[in-house]
Amino acid sequence: MLTLLVLVAALVACVAGQRGGGAGSQHWKHGPTFGWRTSRSKSYIIEAETTLHPGLPPAGKLPRLALWPGLDTKDGLVQPIIVSTKKEEYAKCKTTETQWCVFASYLKYPLTQKMGNQVVMEGTDALTMKFKYNKTVGGYEQWLYLKGSMVSYVASPTGMSKSFYTDVECQQDHVGVVKAHNYTETKITLSEADPQWGLNPSNHAMACADKISTPDGGKTWIVPTIRVSESVALRDYTNSGAVKPGPVICAGR
Ligand SMILES: *[C@@H]1O[C@H](CO)[C@@H](O)[C@H](O)[C@H]1NC(C)=O
Ligand SMILES: *[C@@H]1O[C@H](CO)[C@@H](O)[C@H](O)[C@H]1NC(C)=O
């Protein structure tokens, strides 16, 4: 329980944008980020999916470095977590140097985290994540897949979201290089078509898309690849995300 509480507290601190720092080397900071966070559109996300290719986790397995795609809701964050940390931290995730621990998760502010199964993932594998708004649930269902099998699931009455963005989050003692990684076959479906929705992502720092398109006038948005640059913690990290905004579309694409 202690472990879970610490993680919850850490995530909350980040999400709420409180200052990191404090005693010793403890910190909670954000690096490369890409996506849509401040939409004023009427449309909500009814379905989303993406596949993360995380690559090898940072050397040393210091607690804690987390990758996640997230959907902000009124009082929380729908947020599958891909974390690199010391192997003792999660009971079911005795990870080696080449592995991540992954689980579906919903963080309800301030301190309630609902987590799905925790499973080990090789850095060379791909993790597919799907989200679907379910009226009966009153929120999003979340499914994680490894090698075609569903490995972790969470459903919560989260309410609806207008945002979808990726983040790299650095907590506690973690410092050092976080390798470049990417999200492929990202597809976001809105409640109603909005031809402007996907064109201007609010978040684009040390990360870019190769292309953003909508085949149906703004109901479905497709990003073949989101490329997240290599980053160095803490150099490239702040309390709210990587310092330098870069291009939305990657150079040469
Ligand atoms: C929505 O969730 C309910 C409750 O878990 C489930 O029975 C139902 O099949 C889901 N609906 C859809 C459309 O998947
Ligand atoms: C995404 O990353 C994976 C793993 O590093 C790599 O094999 C793949 O080629 C990358 N995909 C694209 C489209 O860049």
Tens-digit pLDDT profile for residues 56-103: 999 988 889 999 999 999 999 999 999 999 888 888 899 999 999 999
Residue whose CB lies within 8 A of the most ligand 1 atoms, among 114, 137, 142, 143, for a mutation test: 137
Q: Is 39 inside a domain boundary?
A: yes
Domain residue limits at 104: 4-15+26-233
The structural domain count of the chain equals 1
pTM of the predicted model, to two decimals? 0.90
pLDDT (mean) for 238-246? 84
Q: Is 21 inside a domain boundary?
A: no
Task: Report the run of H or E that residue 188 belongs to, with start and end.
Answer: strand 181-190
How far is 89 from 67, CA to CA, in rounded Å? Answer: 17
Task: Report the run of H or E that residue 102 belongs to, with start and end.
Answer: strand 99-103
Helix locations, the chain, DSSP H: 2-15
Tens-digit pLDDT profile for residues 201-220: 999 999 999 999 999 999 99
Q: Is 46 inside a domain boundary?
A: yes
Q: Is 49 inside a domain boundary?
A: yes
Q: Is 246 inside a domain boundary?
A: no
Q: Is 157 inside a domain boundary?
A: yes
Question: Considering only CA atoms, which residue is closest to atom 13 of ligand 2?
Answer: 225
pLDDT (mean) for 18-25? 40
Q: Is 65 inside a domain boundary?
A: yes
Q: Is 241 inside a domain boundary?
A: no
The CATH number of residue 175's host domain is: 2.60.120
Is residue 167 helix, strand or coil?
strand
Which residues is 115 bridged to in the sheet? 105
Is the CB of residue 225 below 6 angstroms from any atom belonging to ligand 2? yes
pLDDT of residue 25: 55
pLDDT of residue 14: 40
